[in-house]
Amino acid sequence: MKSRHAFTTPLFLVLILSCREKAPHIITVTSEIPASSIGITLPHEHIVVDFIGADSVSPDRYDSDSVFIRVLPFLNELKKHQVQTFVECTPNYLGRDVRLLQRLSKETGINIITNTGYYGAAHEKYLPQHAFTESAEELAQRWIDEFNNGINGTGIKPGFMKLSADTGPLTETQRKIMKAGALAHLKTGLSIAVHSGDGNAAKEELEIFLENGVAPDAFIWVHAQNEKNFEMFKEMASQGVWVEFDYVHTETIEQYVGFMNYMKANNLLHRALLSHDAGWYNVGEAGGGGFRGFTALFEILLPRLLEEGFTQNEIDQVIKINPAQAFRVGVRKR
């Protein structure tokens, strides 16, 4: 009797604990943190990118120390603006370098989030050969493995999925990649950020996620600014999709004031995200080429929004509260 009791009690406790919903959390390149502590976040930026193509991409093509030295001041600059989290959106086969991201995060104290998934846009130039031959289930399993075991033996885990497609309609391979994303979401709870050529592509992506049982809330529509029809922002955001306007640049400020005014007028600020899609050390160019910094949002756009009558709470909603929701790890079923 005693031994039976000793066996059943811990098992009972294990069952209770595993049934309890885990508090929302974020996976960074150094650790797991509560979603509530994500702080001011840039949801779409880049550190290093290599456009050579999936066949030839390799970390041997650049000197990691040189990239580190080049990028460090741009990340340190973010501390003036209280940025705590930086989402690095460079996918595998386009220069994703998670060891470098981890080193930069440790040096600066800024959380960096990396990704799993494949980039099907640019006419599929950045897809490895197996992406054309494997099934959605097999591709999903590769991404699930990175989530479970870490990336390339580093133990560093992805905190979201980054996929992509050109303008709609999607190709068969791009559709398969979206299905793989849905399958991997249901196993990992990673959000699915999709570079989308236009609103029609984003709509088709959403349909594929819904067909496969994933809620709109797990989907981040990346590069929403590519869409000219603002009604599409409303259509997607009102269903629960995250609408990311991510090319804030010194020369695009008024366009972004327009996006934010539209979202506010439609009571959809709670679904909007803002970022620069900036950086990056461009492998193959001398010294990495021209590097665009990550501060136009804080130095120009946000002051403009305050002038437009936005409250600090509304701004915090977009730059702090929304990212905590959008990048939380948790399965969101339809």
Residue nearest to Zn ion according to CB distances in the complex: 277
Residues forming beta bridges with residue 32, ordered by sequence position: 27
Is the CB of 204 or the CB of 244 nearer to Zn ion? 244
Is the CB of 144 or the CB of 319 nearer to Zn ion? 319
Find the shortest distance in angstroms from Cβ 277 to Zn ion. 4
Q: In sequence order, which ranges of the chain are alpha helices (DSSP H)?
A: 2-19, 64-76, 98-108, 130-133, 136-149, 172-188, 199-211, 231-237, 253-265, 296, 302-307, 312-316, 322-326
Is the CB of 281 or the CB of 310 nearer to Zn ion? 281
Find the shortest distance in angstroms from Cβ 173 to Zn ion. 20
Sheet holding 115-116, edge to edge: 115-116, 160-165, 192-196, 219-222, 242-245, 272-274
Find the shortest distance in angstroms from Cβ 196 to Zn ion. 12
- Residue 124 touches Zn ion, criterion: CB under 5 A: no
* Residues ≥6 apart with Cβ < 8 Å to 43: 87, 193, 220, 244, 246, 273, 274, 275, 323, 326, 327
Contact of 112 with 183, CB cutoff 8 Å: no
- Residue 89 touches Zn ion, criterion: CB under 5 A: yes
Stretch that binds Zn ion, among 30-38, 83-91, 100-108, 117-125 (CB under 5 A): 83-91
What whole-number distance in Å separates Cα of residue 122 and Cα of residue 49? 14
DSSP secondary structure letter of residue 170: P
Find the shortest distance in angstroms from Cβ 289 to Zn ion. 15
What whole-number distance in Å separates Cα of residue 269 and Cα of residue 315? 9
Is the CB of 227 or the CB of 277 nearer to Zn ion? 277
Q: How many residues interact with Zn ion (rule CB under 5 A)?
A: 2
Find the shortest distance in angstroms from Cβ 12 to Zn ion. 48
Tell whether omega for the bond before 242 is within 30 degrees of 0, i.e. cis.
Answer: no
What whole-number distance in Å separates Cα of residue 250 and Cα of residue 91? 26
Contact of 279 with 329, CB cutoff 8 Å: no
Find the shortest distance in angstroms from Cβ 195 to Zn ion. 7
Is the CB of 67 or the CB of 89 nearer to Zn ion? 89
Is the CB of 89 or the CB of 315 nearer to Zn ion? 89
Amino acid at position 261, single letter = N
Is the CB of 102 or the CB of 115 nearer to Zn ion? 115
User: Could you say which residues in the range 239-298 bind Zn ion, by CB under 5 A?
Assistant: 277
User: Could you say which residues in the range 199-228 bind Zn ion, by CB under 5 A?
Assistant: none
Find the shortest distance in angstroms from Cβ 310 to Zn ion. 25
Stretch that binds Zn ion, among 87-95, 153-161, 284-292, 306-314 (CB under 5 A): 87-95
Tell whether omega for the bond before 323 is within 30 degrees of 0, i.e. cis.
Answer: no
- The site for Zn ion (CB under 5 A) is made up of 89, 277
